[in-house]
């Protein structure tokens, strides 16, 4: 988990570049972008320091000379369809827009104050540089399909989570600790696969997945890890020197009840008809899952009492793989090399992790791994996460 | 700033004589020794106009002093010694600090002089180097007043300032026992790393038997400016850091937010300040994989110029009410700059004096890197603690941070010429 649950939510709000706003073109890859064209958004103009540019990667460096928040658009020949945009440019600030431009006629326009038709609309021509830009046409449809598939995946996982959590909670309430311990990690896998989505609902992740150290003073610690500690009670030396006091039957009932109720809230949230996942959140979520592995699981900090970190690792990895596979057809058309590299890196990391078990047969305890073994896994995470972190820019750029 | 005569030197000499560490004749030879660092540097012609910050001053140097480029910070445990022995240690540290900050040796003989059959009283690695803006700042931790097991070892428990609280646990703390606390601290800052290390090395040596190193930290690349004459540096996230820091020129702010005033409790601390140090590991591998959009959202400023996302240039006051598309705030609700801003903290400000660090790498092949955060303030209960509580609960940056080390120290006022740091505490 991450103590900063709102990161994805904010990203989903601030980072949405509707796919329609992105260039429906495929880069040939490898071209160094030429120097950006300077654009100055002023009270009465939207000055661009050139009226034409060669086709291929095209950058605009947009400076805001107004005293309002401004936006810059590259519009298609019809003057309506958005080919590229950059928003939320504060006064005095410069932002860059990069698009893959194919030959044709366009318009540039600025929108200080973010309302109206804009200011300083000008014709802009992209000449044919000979750079190969493959037309794809249906990327937009593919994006919508990827988003719909991913939403269905999330709903399915949360549905399974609800069932698994109920069984786990029943065993724990009944004092059947052996069963509860055996259900703990497999149940959590459903959560770990879609963790960035759960984190996007403000206060749900803190209630469900906070570790003891994440809890602000005065707040009550609830959720999976509260119960984890009770099922794998620490020795005094690992508990700040204090003897661990087992939870009473009453407390067990309460914490199990809260876990079930909060999971139910998550279920309702992802089944709300307004629930959707923009395509950049799918790709950012994939990176987020790998970051979770890198900062929590690979260090053994996530499951500090049960040491079931490798289960979470596997589930995070599976969730990232699903997210990537969903957008892969788009990536393949825009940057085939990246798609191939990610395939290979996913496979390599999956193979390394499989050496320690599986979700079906169980994983080795984190504490059974040597430092060298953990490092090998960490190297695999870095090897995958580094190219994966470029995915969003490829998807929306 | 011109060098002041070292008031402590004469006393140091006489004390050394009294202690019988050297015969009178040798003292005479030592007094005229030509191996002082400043002299050597001048003789070699290699010394540039190196700044000297006087050790004897109303406030200890190293607080509003323009932040130097390098740090060596050290925390010490005091041994089982008596009150007079503790005072003696503070005298010895003050004497040596006065010498070293003036560009001279830790001891009166210097590294290449003195009795031939005795080890040199200075370790020597700074011999040819100028003062390099060295400052040595000494502080007292809570456990100096009351030990962890509740003892008043030095008869000063009743004089512990209320403001010298034990820091509370903050959400997300990942403190490592071996990087926390300490009875005494020394912050050595310099523009030359070797000069800073030389200072801590020699002061540690002087303390052997009376105080021992508990933990220490090297820092490079100041992450804050404490003077308007300094450009704002960058931290290891690649962002300008400390733009809105309290600057030495803002004397009103410094008086309000940094120096303990006579109106505050613990009169012996008047003119002093409270130092909070936090060793903050940065998970730079995941940070480096975050998009520029995410990085700027987390910080609330642009990466290039450091302007707030609400617009303007670096020193433009952030407009937290400014909104962009869909009326979302331009500066995110969880952005670091919003939560750390005085406006969000009842006007509370800190004088920050942090440094970057890279301590090699960890077992997982990740750089063990981050910021050694140091701040000074008039009262941590109204400044660091509430600010850090707010940040620990909400800062979008927390995803990339781990607080692994921590310490709080009362930094008494500067030593009077010919006296020692902490004299008012011990009634001297």
- Residue A130 has a pLDDT of 84
Q: How far apart are CA B258 and CA B375, in angstroms?
A: 9
Higher-pLDDT residue of B13 and A108 is: A108
- With beta carbons under 8 A apart, name residues in chain B contacting A64: 311
The pTM is what? 0.85
Domain assignment present for residue B47? The answer is no
- Residue A123's H or E segment, with its range, is strand A119-127
Q: Which CATH number goes with the domain that contains A349?
A: 1.20.1420.20
In this prediction, residue B23 has a pLDDT band, given cuts at 50, 70 and 90, of very low
Domain assignment present for residue A51? The answer is yes
CA dist list (Å): B270 to B60, B87, B90, B146, B411? 12, 19, 18, 21, 10
Considering chain A, what is the average pLDDT of its residues?
A: 88
A256 and A360 within one domain = yes
The whole domain housing A209 covers 6-12+139-396
Q: How far apart are CA B33 and CA B39, in angstroms?
A: 10
3-state secondary structure B3-72: CCCCHHHHHHHHHHHHHCCCCHHHHHHHHCCCCCHHHHHHHHCCCCCCCCCCCCCCCCCCCCCCCCCEEE
Contact present, B11 and B96 (Cβ < 8 Å): no
Distance between alpha carbon B134 and the CA centroid of its chain, in Å?
12
Query: Residue B337: pLDDT above 90?
Result: yes
- With beta carbons under 8 A apart, name residues in chain A contacting B168: 217
Q: Determine how many CB atoms are found less than 10 A away from the CB of residue B101.
A: 28
CA dist list (Å): B40 to A131, B32, B196, B404? 66, 13, 18, 41
- Among B325, B339, B393, B396, most A C-beta atoms within 10 A, so best to mutate, is B325
The shortest CB-CB distance from A92 to any of B173, B311, B330 is to: B311
Domain assignment present for residue A323? The answer is yes
**For chain A, how many structural domains are there in total?**
2
- A205, A197, A204: which is closest to A270 by C-alpha? A197
- Residue A35 has a pLDDT of 83
Contact present, B411 and B139 (Cβ < 8 Å): yes
Final residue in a domain of this structure, among A110, A135, A160: A135
Contact present, A225 and A231 (Cβ < 8 Å): no
A235 and A100 within one domain = no
Cβ A10–B333 below 8 Å, yes or no?
yes
- Residue B13 has a pLDDT of 37
Cβ A389–B283 below 8 Å, yes or no?
no
A118 and A183 within one domain = no
Contact present, B356 and B219 (Cβ < 8 Å): yes
Cβ A69–B324 below 8 Å, yes or no?
yes
Domain assignment present for residue B245? The answer is yes
- Residue A144 has a pLDDT of 87
Quick one: what percent of chain A has pLDDT higher than 70? 90
Query: Residue B244: pLDDT above 90?
Result: no
- Residue B211's H or E segment, with its range, is strand B211-222
The shortest CB-CB distance from B324 to any of A4, A87, A92 is to: A87
- Residue B50 has a pLDDT of 73
A148 and A84 within one domain = no
In this prediction, residue B227 has a pLDDT band, given cuts at 50, 70 and 90, of confident
Cβ B323–A69 below 8 Å, yes or no?
yes
Tell me the average pLDDT across B343-350: 91
- A344, A349, A338, A340: which is closest to A380 by C-alpha? A349
Cβ A217–B312 below 8 Å, yes or no?
no
Cβ B307–A295 below 8 Å, yes or no?
no
Instruction: Report pLDDT digits (tens) over A140-161.
Output: 788 888 999 999 999 999 999 9
Instruction: Report pLDDT digits (tens) over B351-381.
Output: 999 999 999 999 999 999 999 999 999 999 9
Sign, CA torsion B321/B323/B328/B332: negative
Nearest residue on chain B to A285, alpha-carbon basis: B290
- With beta carbons under 8 A apart, name residues in chain B contacting A386: 289
Helix (H, G, I), strand (E, B) or coil at A328: helix
Nearest residue on chain A to B289, alpha-carbon basis: A389
Domain assignment present for residue B249? The answer is yes
- Residue A39 has a pLDDT of 97
Higher-pLDDT residue of A391 and A115 is: A391
In this prediction, residue B38 has a pLDDT band, given cuts at 50, 70 and 90, of low
Find the range with the poorest average confidence among A155-169, A221-235, B35-49, B152-166. Answer: B35-49
Higher-pLDDT residue of A130 and B87 is: B87
Query: Residue B39: pLDDT above 80?
Result: no
Q: List the structure tokens of A358.
A: 């599986």
Domain assignment present for residue A94? The answer is yes
Helix (H, G, I), strand (E, B) or coil at B386: helix
Pairing state of beta strands B355-361 and B351-352?
Answer: unpaired
In this prediction, residue B179 has a pLDDT band, given cuts at 50, 70 and 90, of very high
A207 and A355 within one domain = yes
A264 and A227 within one domain = yes
A89 and A237 within one domain = no
Collect all residues with Cβ–Cβ distance below 8 Å to B310 and sequence separation of at least 6. A90, A91, B316, B318, B319, B320, B322, B330, B331
- Among B168, B174, B293, most A C-beta atoms within 10 A, so best to mutate, is B293
Q: List the structure tokens of A42.
A: 């002023």
A149 and A125 within one domain = no
Query: Residue A325: pLDDT above 50?
Result: yes
Domain assignment present for residue A144? The answer is yes
- Shortest Cα–Cα distance, A163 to chain B (Å): 30
Cβ B307–A393 below 8 Å, yes or no?
no
Query: Residue A73: pLDDT above 60?
Result: yes
Q: How far apart are CA A349 and CA B319, in angstroms?
A: 45
Residue B189: beta bridge partners?
A: B71, B135
The whole domain housing B200 covers 67-77+133-428
Cβ B328–A13 below 8 Å, yes or no?
yes
Final residue in a domain of this structure, among A85, A103, A135: A135
Contact present, A391 and A331 (Cβ < 8 Å): yes
Chain A, chain B: beta-carbon pairs less than 8 Å apart = 126
Cβ B399–A14 below 8 Å, yes or no?
no
- Shortest Cα–Cα distance, A384 to chain B (Å): 11
Query: Residue B48: pLDDT above 80?
Result: no
Final residue in a domain of this structure, among A76, A111, A135: A135
Domain assignment present for residue B120? The answer is no
Q: How far apart are CA B414 and CA B269, in angstroms?
A: 10
A346 and A258 within one domain = yes
Domain assignment present for residue A20? The answer is no
Q: Determine how many CB atoms are found less than 10 A away from the CB of residue B316.
A: 18
Cβ A10–B366 below 8 Å, yes or no?
no
Domain assignment present for residue A19? The answer is no
| Orientation angle between helical segments A139-173 and A177-193, nearest 10 degrees | 170
A378 and A366 within one domain = yes
Query: Residue A227: pLDDT above 90?
Result: yes
- Shortest Cα–Cα distance, B400 to chain A (Å): 8
- Residue B288 has a pLDDT of 95
A153 and A88 within one domain = no
Collect all residues with Cβ–Cβ distance below 8 Å to B253 and sequence separation of at least 6. B246, B247, B349
Tell me the average pLDDT across B7-33: 35
- Residue A34 has a pLDDT of 65
- B165, B59, B178: which is closest to B384 by C-alpha? B165
Regarding an ipTM greater than 0.85, the answer is no
Contact present, B64 and B258 (Cβ < 8 Å): yes
**For chain B, how many structural domains are there in total?**
1
- Residue A151 has a pLDDT of 94
Collect all residues with Cβ–Cβ distance below 8 Å to A75 and sequence separation of at least 6. A81, A82, A83, A106, A107, A108, A109
Instruction: Report pLDDT digits (tens) over B106-140.
Output: 999 999 999 999 999 999 999 999 999 999 999 99
Domain assignment present for residue A154? The answer is yes
Domain assignment present for residue B264? The answer is yes
A163 and A275 within one domain = yes
Domain assignment present for residue A298? The answer is yes
Cβ B364–A14 below 8 Å, yes or no?
no
Nearest residue on chain B to A16, alpha-carbon basis: B325
């Amino acid at each position: 988990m991450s103590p900063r649950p709102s990161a994805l939510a904010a990203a989903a709000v601030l980072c949405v570049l509707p796919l329609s706003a992105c260039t429906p073109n495929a880069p040939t890859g490898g071209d160094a972008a030429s120097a950006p064209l300077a654009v100055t958004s002023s009270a009465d103009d939207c000055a661009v320091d050139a009226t034409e540019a060669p086709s291929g990667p095209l950058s605009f460096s947009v400076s805001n000379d107004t005293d309002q928040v401004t936006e810059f658009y590259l519009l298609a020949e019809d003057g309506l369809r958005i080919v590229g945009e950059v928003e939320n440019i504060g006064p005095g600030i410069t932002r860059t827009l990069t698009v893959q431009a194919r030959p044709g006629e366009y318009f540039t326009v600025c929108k200080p104050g973010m309302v109206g038709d804009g200011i300083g609309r000008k014709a802009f021509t992209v000449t044919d540089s000979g750079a190969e830009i493959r037309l794809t046409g249906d990327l937009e449809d593919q994006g919508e399909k990827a988003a719909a598939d991913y939403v269905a995946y999330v709903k399915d996982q949360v549905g399974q989570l609800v069932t698994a959590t109920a069984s786990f909670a029943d065993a724990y309430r009944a004092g059947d600790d052996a069963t509860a311990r055996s259900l703990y990690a497999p149940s959590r896998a459903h959560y770990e696969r879609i963790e960035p989505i759960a984190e996007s609902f403000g206060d749900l992740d803190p209630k469900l997945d906070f570790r003891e150290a994440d809890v602000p003073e005065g707040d009550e610690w609830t959720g999976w890890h509260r119960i984890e500690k009770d099922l794998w009670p620490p020795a005094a030396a690992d508990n700040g020197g204090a003897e661990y006091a087992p939870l009473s039957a009453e407390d067990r009932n309460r914490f199990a009840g809260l876990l079930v109720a909060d999971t139910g809230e998550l279920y309702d949230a992802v089944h709300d008809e307004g629930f959707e996942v923009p395509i950049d959140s799918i790709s950012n979520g994939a990176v987020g899952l790998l970051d979770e592995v890198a900062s929590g699981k690979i260090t053994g900090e996530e499951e500090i009492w049960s040491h079931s970190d490798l289960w979470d690792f596997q589930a995070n990895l599976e969730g990232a793989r699903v997210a990537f596979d969903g957008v892969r057809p788009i990536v393949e058309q825009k940057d085939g090399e990246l798609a191939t590299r990610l395939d290979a890196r996913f496979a390599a990391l999956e193979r390394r992790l499989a050496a320690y078990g599986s979700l079906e047969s169980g994983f080795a305890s984190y504490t059974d791994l040597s430092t060298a073994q953990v490092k090998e896994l960490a190297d695999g995470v870095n090897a995958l996460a580094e190219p994966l972190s470029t995915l969003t820019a490829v998807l929306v750029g | 700033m011109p060098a002041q005569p070292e008031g402590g030197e004469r006393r140091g000499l006489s004390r050394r004589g009294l202690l019988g560490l050297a015969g009178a004749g040798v003292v005479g030879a030592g007094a005229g020794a030509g191996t002082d660092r400043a002299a050597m540097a001048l003789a070699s012609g290699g010394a540039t106009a190196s700044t000297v910050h006087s050790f004897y001053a109303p406030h200890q140097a190293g607080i509003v002093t323009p932040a130097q480029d390098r740090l060596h910070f050290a925390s010490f445990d005091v041994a089982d010694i008596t009150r007079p022995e503790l005072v003696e240690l503070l005298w010895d540290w003050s004497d040596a600090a006065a010498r070293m900050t003036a560009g001279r040796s830790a001891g009166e003989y210097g590294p290449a002089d003195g009795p031939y059959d005795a080890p040199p009283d200075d370790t020597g690695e700074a011999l040819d180097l100028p003062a390099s803006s060295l400052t040595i700042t000494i502080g007292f931790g809570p456990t100096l007043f009351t030990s962890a097991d509740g003892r008043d070892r030095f008869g000063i428990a009743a004089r512990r300032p209320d403001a010298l609280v034990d820091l509370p646990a903050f959400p997300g703390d990942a403190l490592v026992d071996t990087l926390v606390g300490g009875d005494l601290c020394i912050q050595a800052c310099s523009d030359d790393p070797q000069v800073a290390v030389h200072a801590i090395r020699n002061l540690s040596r002087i303390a052997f038997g009376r105080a021992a190193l508990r933990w220490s930290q090297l820092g490079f690349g100041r992450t804050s400016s404490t003077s308007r004459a300094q450009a704002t540096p960058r931290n290891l996230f690649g962002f300008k850091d400390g733009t809105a820091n309290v600057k030495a020129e803002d004397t009103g702010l410094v008086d309000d937010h940094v120096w303990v005033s006579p109106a505050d409790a613990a009169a012996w601390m008047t003119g002093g300040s409270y130092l909070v140090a936090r060793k903050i590991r940065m998970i730079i591998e995941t940070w480096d994989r975050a998009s520029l959009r995410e990085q700027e959202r987390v910080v609330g400023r642009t990466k290039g110029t450091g302007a707030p996302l609400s617009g303007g240039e670096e020193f433009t006051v952030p407009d937290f009410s400014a909104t962009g598309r869909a009326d979302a705030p331009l500066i995110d609700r969880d952005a670091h700059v919003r939560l750390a801003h005085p406006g969000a903290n009842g006007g509370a400000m800190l004088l920050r004096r942090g440094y970057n660090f890279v301590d090699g790498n960890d077992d997982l092949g990740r750089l063990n890197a981050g910021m050694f955060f140091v701040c000074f303030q008039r009262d941590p209960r109204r400044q660091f603690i509430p600010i850090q509580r707010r940040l620990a609960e909400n800062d979008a940056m927390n995803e990339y941070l781990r607080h692994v080390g921590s310490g709080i120290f009362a930094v008494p006022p500067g030593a009077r010429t010919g006296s020692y740091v902490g004299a008012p505490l011990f009634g001297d």
